[in-house]
Amino acid sequence: MAVLNLPGVLVYLILRPPRTLEEEYQRTLEEEALLQALEDLPLCPGCERRVKEDWQICPNCHTKLKKTCHNCSKLMELPWNICPYCGTPAPGMRLEATSLDDALKGIKVTEEPEGSNN
């Protein structure tokens, strides 16, 4: 067995830099830990790079990743429409559109000529 494997071992030692078993083991552990940590991180929906869970903006493509509660300033997922920490409803797209519509209506009303009655 040992004699048969010897040429293979020699080739291995020549091609690869010598490393102790302990170093090899440590390296494997580190790589596995790193891989697991990477897998836990969420991906940016814009550029698919790994981002941290508490990031609000992707530093690579500036995609908005999270929003903050306007009441308690805690981080919220973008689809959430209510803050899980304090229960404050988040201002959504529809609410903004409605308020914008109301604002436009208000502008139209105030644009009525006032001087004619005087």
Give 3-state DSSP helix, strand, coil % of the chain, rounded to 5: 45, 10, 45
90 binds Zn ion per the rule CB under 5 A: no
Q: Rule CB under 5 A: which of 4-63 touch Zn ion?
A: 44, 46-47, 58, 60-61, 63
Asked if 81 interacts with Zn ion (CB under 5 A), we say no
Residues contacting Zn ion: total by CB under 5 A: 14
Cβ proximity of 79 and 86 under 8 Å: no
How far apart are the C-alpha atoms of 98 and 104, rounded to whole Å? Answer: 10
Summarize as ranges the residues that interact with Zn ion (CB under 5 A).
Answer: 44, 46-47, 58, 60-61, 63, 69, 71-72, 83, 85-86, 88
